[in-house]
Structure 1
Amino acid sequence: MAMALLLALAALCAAPAWAQSAGDPTPLQFRDAAEEQRLHALALELRCVMCQNQSLADSNAPIAHDLRREVLKLMREGRSDAQIKDYLVERYGEFVLYKPDVEPATWLLWFGPGLLLLAGAAVVYRIVRRRAHGGAAAAGAHAAEDEQEW
């Protein structure tokens, strides 16, 4: 009984590792280290379309495995990195790029955080300025009250 329970527990613990390896039954075979480095560099610049916040290099989703194979195939066809990115953008949209091009459609994405930071700094500046002027006026009023004789 104890042995059966131990075997069941071991099988349960091994299930995630087995499921992960089952999603990618054949690892990528590279011709040389340069090809592997190029694929890895490209995969870091591309976003997994399923995970959304992981790069293609970091994702274990089945579609990420398929996309890495597709990128390797395109590399072996002689396409440049820019051509591969263009192909994936045409297929999946600008979302697939971690660093989309700066163009009118992506201005908010690129410049929005800076604008929000500037707006926040302006609000803080106005609040501090208002308190500084209000505090000086209040101090002056208290001094004037102390000088009056009754």
Structure 2
Amino acid sequence: MRILVALIAILFSVSAPVMGQSALPPAPYANRQISDPVLERKAKALMETIRCLTCQSQSIADSDASMAGDMRSQIRERIMVGEEPEHIRAWLIERYGDWVSYEPTANPILWPLWAAPFLLIGLGLLLLRGRIRRKRK
């Protein structure tokens, strides 16, 4: 009985990586470049500014994740049809949220976040000035 349990455990541990792989083939332009070098440069420049949703620390141009491959393929296909990179970026942001883009947005709701460091530095300088004045007296 122990041998049977051990064989079953070995079978599942060996087959686990195979079961974790996607059965779907990669997207057509996930790892294949556009034949037109100008269009490929446009696509590559855009891919370097889009964050991988799986890895989160890499751009989709650098990531090997299947999700990044799908996004690369979508970008290349849209570039080949004639869409502009900024239109594609807007579509990706609309679909996945602001977080997908490495380029920060300037939405009015985010202005306090941009102003916070300057306010904190100003407050620190005021406190430092008050402390220096107290020491002189």
Cα distance, 1:68–1:127 mapped onto 2, change above 3 Å: farther
Question: Contact 1:102/1:110 (CA < 8 Å) preserved in 2?
Answer: no
Where do residues 1-150 of structure 1 align in structure 2 (5 Å cutoff)? 27-131=31-135, 133=136, 137=137
For the pair shown, which has the larger CA radius of gyration, 1 or 2? 1
| Residues 118-148 of structure 1: per-residue CA shift (max 9 Å, x gap) | 33343334334433x2xxx4xxxxxxxxxxx
Higher relative contact order (CA 8 A, sep 6+): 2
Distance 1:53 1:108 in 2: 25
Q: TM-score, normalised by structure 2?
A: 0.66
User: Could you say what secondary structure the match of 1:101 adopts?
Assistant: coil
Number of aligned residue pairs: 112
Identity %: 34
Name structure 2 gaps, 5 residues minimum: 1-20
Matched to 2:106, the amino acid is V
Name structure 1 gaps, 5 residues minimum: 1-18, 138-150
Distance 1:95 1:51 in 2: 13
Offset, 1:70: 0.9
User: Could you say what secondary structure the match of 2:48 adopts?
Assistant: helix
What does residue 14 of structure 2 align with?
none
Question: Contact 2:93/2:101 (CA < 8 Å) preserved in 1?
Answer: yes
Distance 2:57 2:117 in 1: 18
Cα distance, 1:124–1:102 mapped onto 2, change above 3 Å: same
Question: Contact 2:51/2:101 (CA < 8 Å) preserved in 1?
Answer: yes
User: Could you say what secondary structure the match of 2:45 adopts?
Assistant: helix
Question: Contact 1:47/1:53 (CA < 8 Å) preserved in 2?
Answer: yes
Cα distance, 1:103–1:34 mapped onto 2, change above 3 Å: same
Aligned-CA RMSD value: 2.6
